[in-house]
Structure 1
Amino acid sequence: MGTEKMSQIATQKVSYARAGIQMGLFFGLLMTIIFSFQAGRWDGGILPGIIAGTIFGTVMVWFAKRQASKMSLKRPDFGDEKIVLEGPANHFAGAEGVGGYLFLTDSKLFFLSHRFNIQNHELSIPLDEIQSVEASKTLGMVNNGLMIRRTPDLSERFVVFEHERWRDAILSAKANRTS
């Protein structure tokens, strides 16, 4: 295995851990507040909140890693296109955050949902159709959102690990395509 691939795997493991900690802290804080109200004391929800956050963060990291390994086995055939970046993602289809895997090739952004969704689908966005890319916050709090504008009235929202890395990679692939 090449040094570049090993470095990419190490970076991905760090981003999984960081995302798990962020999700666990957010969920744990929310559960602490809920459990405190249920207990009728501000300190009544601290321990249950910490436990719930730890379990939630761990389960979400396990699930994301499991989906990533499954998708590496079921990778779509992109023909001559080169894969620039790939990773687990959620695509918002209406109100549902559809779980799956996102691929950036040298000519398109491609989302493939996994089978555990109500709205299973594929989405292919040619880089030429992308007008803008923004790293954003999901629910206004978590730094993992990615907004892709196709037209002034049509945009696609994703949740990804390392949203700024995705934004930069998409913009770079788009710039390389036009040059």
Structure 2
Amino acid sequence: MKIKYSILSGLIFAIIMFTYLAYTVKIDIAIIVSVFILVLSPILFYFKIFSKIDFSIKFQDIDKQLVIYHGMTNHFKDGIAVGGTLYLMSDRLIFQTNLINYIKRHEQIILLNQIEVVEFVKTMGLVSNGILIKNKNSQEEQFVVNKREVWKEHIEKYLVSDSRH
């Protein structure tokens, strides 16, 4: 799997560089540089990026039919913002990192019946795009999301409906 992603990444990088150089320089230079990139970059990608990814971590399969709301998100894990997708289901929130996130590849599951409060927070104390989820055990998870008002409304709606049962 690591080799496949390395080759695919090298091919994409070579195509991007070819396109850029073909328009800005000469086509001859674009061909030479792109072939060089196509040969070398998969090797570099493999050793510098993909060799560090732990592909043995398996995420739970998400039935898209059961997803109420989802979006691209950053999750703060050990002080680092890690990119991925946040899914809201009727009973839980699931965060899964992007496929090639090699810094902190992880899955975070938060049961809605364990959430005490959802608050707005500012990312880095400046940008109004964060939500903080506090659970009943005093644990906190912070996410950077688009449309945080919508996220909070959806989560709280299911917190209220869960408490009625």
Per-residue deviation at 1:75? Answer: 9.4
Cα displacement string for residues 26-84 of structure 1 (whole angstroms, at most 9, x for unaligned residues) = xxxxxxxxxxxxxxxxxxxxxxxxxxxxxxxxxxxxxxxxxxxxxxxx993348x7311
Q: For the structure 1 residues 117 and 90, does the alpha-carbon distance in structure 2 shift closer, same or farther, using more than 3 Å as the test? A: farther
Residue 136 of structure 1 pairs with residue 121 of structure 2: yes
C-alpha separation in 1, matches of 2:86 and 2:109: 10
Q: Which amino acid aligns with 1:147?
A: L
C-alpha separation in 2, matches of 1:117 and 1:90: 14
Residue 93 of structure 1 pairs with residue 77 of structure 2: yes
Question: Which residue number corresponds to residue 156 of structure 1?
Answer: 141
What secondary structure is seen at the aligned counterpart in 2 of 1:131?
strand
Question: Which residue number corresponds to residue 33 of structure 1?
Answer: none
C-alpha separation in 2, matches of 1:108 and 1:78: 13
Question: Which residue number corresponds to residue 34 of structure 2?
Answer: none
Cα displacement string for residues 142-172 of structure 1 (whole angstroms, at most 9, x for unaligned residues) = 1110100013631000000011111111000
Task: State how 1:30-69 maps to structure 2 within 5 Å.
Answer: none
Aligned residues: 105
C-alpha separation in 2, matches of 1:85 and 1:144: 17
Q: Which amino acid aligns with 2:115?
A: I
In structure 2, stretches of 5+ residues that fail to align are: 1-58
C-alpha separation in 2, matches of 1:129 and 1:75: 20
After TM superposition, the score normalised by the length of structure 2 is: 0.58
C-alpha separation in 1, matches of 2:72 and 2:139: 23
Question: Which residue number corresponds to residue 77 of structure 1?
Answer: 62
Does the CA contact (< 8 Å) of 1:134 and 1:146 recur in 2? yes
In structure 1, stretches of 5+ residues that fail to align are: 1-73
Task: State how 1:105-144 maps to structure 2 within 5 Å.
Answer: 105-114=89-98, 115-144=100-129
Does the CA contact (< 8 Å) of 1:90 and 1:159 recur in 2? yes
Hey, which bits of structure 1, 4+ residues long, moved more than 3 A?
none
After TM superposition, the score normalised by the length of structure 1 is: 0.54
Does the CA contact (< 8 Å) of 1:99 and 1:117 recur in 2? no
Q: For the structure 1 residues 87 and 153, does the alpha-carbon distance in structure 2 shift closer, same or farther, using more than 3 Å as the test? A: same
Residue 165 of structure 1 pairs with residue 144 of structure 2: no
Structure whose residues are more often helix by fraction: 1
Aligned-CA RMSD value: 2.2
Q: For the structure 1 residues 85 and 178, does the alpha-carbon distance in structure 2 shift closer, same or farther, using more than 3 Å as the test? A: same
